[in-house]
A and B are shown apart, each in its own frame.
Chain A
């Protein structure tokens, strides 16, 4: 299957689906695809390769395992509680695909490789954060956003693999360990992991 089509479908599932397990599967597809696309750029530097291995382990193994454990412990967390209706989520996914396609036609961006893919992955990361109210989806959204930024680094500045992978490692560290540790505490107060409870702090 074409890589762009695979990413397009995975991104759409991230936005449209309301079930944690489907979104997790879509995230895994995106994370693995992004890692495979980034891999050639890190081969030139052993330091970058080491960071890449650590980051990939966190994104592809630790984060999904953490999410699965939370869902097993809190069955109510299997529902991502989208804040938009299904038709609106579909429209948003289509909108992201169209905006990404349009990015390729912007003269300033036309010379950058993978520009459509990067724009789509970044938008899907932000979309996952906005659309779902379950905090587990926020972790996945942050990691997808991080994958998009790392992909952008591989496309924009392939001469700086160490800097890019160091950034990716920090992103993954924040999302995976700090995020999951906070969710563990959060779950004791809000077992459904519904971010709506944050609203009472506003204003």
Chain B
């Protein structure tokens, strides 16, 4: 228990302890060392938590560490937040980076709380804590659009998690009535062991409310409207974390809810909800991606599309569908964080993310080349992990004979592919603007570029996950969840 608490609190401590050191180099280096140690700590939980929790904890820590590296690369260049995020508005509003890193550490710890929880109460608290930490990160620039995005994020996600809490309380009513002890009423292991398979209709109400609540945080249609604003208006590293891992944490909550639904005999309803939300999300997001004129907003809509693909995979069900969902979560987390990091580097150089104003990025340095690679990855093209995971999702759909949702998903993927390919061609071809100057000059350290490159390498390596030891862990986790079904 103490070890678990230490793993969860380590990122927060890693962001706060350097504040006792002098500003500048020592503080930055201490932050880098401590955050790297914090990211390694989940390895100590091998054998102590289940494979699903461990896999997600490793994913959260990997991407959060890269976001910290990315942010520190910018900070090396000055102590103004605008230098981190490449945003002059932020530079005007914030003069110290300590608040930024404190919130980043709190966000990281909150996500670890979500994925290392053993019951829904703690999981819900973690999800709520992410809202507390990130509402200010989204509105970090303090300019009108980012504050409005933060407001939307706060209100819609609060409503969503309130419904999830209501669902959990209904679930507790059902499990307590089934004779489960109060201390374990919301523990998925206890529910799997003791809950009746012929649960009352209230169990279905509980599952539906929880799915709707957690799907709001995952940005699934029709509860998605906060996501494009929040993810596109936040600083680039925060956008990478929101799209890459916060959405993954919400999808983790959906997986745990599905696990309980299977035990309580509410799986058909849960799968129907996930298939509907997944199909709507892929088609809706794919369609809107075609009309986007801003790079980060395009990437934000792409997150909705990929969350929809994961929901479809979970809805198809069975060990194969769940394995596809888990592989897709990993591949998307790395690809999307790499995309936002690259977009941040491009924004820093070009001072804009408007697609119409970005040209010749291929010739403008490594950021442009990495951005092309990440757009290729997100479009589902080989050799990246999303290509493999999308193939797995299609196979899961075929096995499940779920032709309508599968067809809708394929249409959505095709639309997204078109939008991403068009954007890639538009911004990479032509000549770069000669008059553009990087905000405050070039990066002095390769740390930010390196973080984006490592994330991109992760998006590539994810293609091999099903055939590695990690794939074995995921298969066990997927089978364990599926095996919970009566």
Q: Which of A135, A146, A156 contacts B162 (CB 8 A)?
A: A146
**Number of B interface residues, CB 8 Å?**
45
Given contacts A108-B200, A174-B128, contact A163 B121 (CB under 8 A): yes
B148 lies within 8 A of A197 (CB): yes
Given contacts A163-B186, A167-B124, A202-B225, contact A122 B166 (CB under 8 A): yes
Query: What does the 1/0 interface line of B413-426 toward A look like (CB < 8 Å)?
Result: 00000000000000
| Nearest chain A CB to B434 CB, angstrom units | 33
Query: What does the 1/0 interface line of B155-166 toward A look like (CB < 8 Å)?
Result: 100110010011
Within 8 A of A (CB), among B67-87: none
Instruction: Give bound CA distance, A129 to B155, whole Å.
Output: 9
Instruction: Flag whether B92 is at the interface (Cβ < 8 A).
Output: no
With most chain B CB atoms within 10 A of its CB, the pick from A149, A153, A174, A201 is A201
A164 lies within 8 A of B169 (CB): yes
| Nearest chain B CB to A157 CB, angstrom units | 4
- For the residues of A in contact with B, the DSSP-based class is helix
Instruction: Give bound CA distance, A108 to B206, whole Å.
Output: 12
Instruction: Flag whether B131 is at the interface (Cβ < 8 A).
Output: yes
Selecting from B138-146, B443-451, B466-474, the interface stretch reads: B138-146
Within 8 A of B (CB), among A154-197: 156-157, 159-160, 163-164, 166-167, 170-171, 173-175, 178-179, 181-182, 185-186, 189-190, 195, 197
Q: Which of B136, B185, B228, B229 contacts A157 (CB 8 A)?
A: B185
Query: What does the 1/0 interface line of A57-98 toward B look like (CB < 8 Å)?
Result: 000000000000000000000000000000000000000000
With most chain A CB atoms within 10 A of its CB, the pick from B148, B149, B202, B225 is B148
Selecting from B31-39, B170-178, B387-395, the interface stretch reads: B170-178
A149 lies within 8 A of B166 (CB): yes
Given contacts A149-B165, A170-B128, A171-B162, contact A156 B173 (CB under 8 A): yes
Q: For residue B173, which residue of chain A has the nearest CB?
A: A156
**Number of A interface residues, CB 8 Å?**
43
A174 lies within 8 A of B132 (CB): yes
A159 lies within 8 A of B132 (CB): no
Instruction: Give bound CA distance, A18 to B152, whole Å.
Output: 22
Within 8 A of B (CB), among A119-134: 122, 125-126, 129
Instruction: Flag whether B215 is at the interface (Cβ < 8 A).
Output: no
Instruction: Give bound CA distance, A28 to B139, whole Å.
Output: 29
The interface residues of chain B lying within 8 Å CB-to-CB of A122 are 166
Instruction: Give bound CA distance, A122 to B205, whole Å.
Output: 15
| Nearest chain A CB to B173 CB, angstrom units | 4
Q: Which residues of A contact B (CB under 8 A)?
A: 107-109, 112, 122, 125-126, 129, 135, 138, 142, 145-146, 149, 152-153, 156-157, 159-160, 163-164, 166-167, 170-171, 173-175, 178-179, 181-182, 185-186, 189-190, 195, 197-198, 201-203
Selected A-B contacts with CB under 8 Å, 8 pairs:
A107-B201, A129-B155, A152-B166, A153-B169, A174-B135, A174-B158, A185-B147, A195-B151
Nearest 9 interchain pairs by C-beta: A157-B172, A156-B173, A159-B182, A189-B144, A170-B128, A108-B201, A201-B229, A163-B121, A153-B169
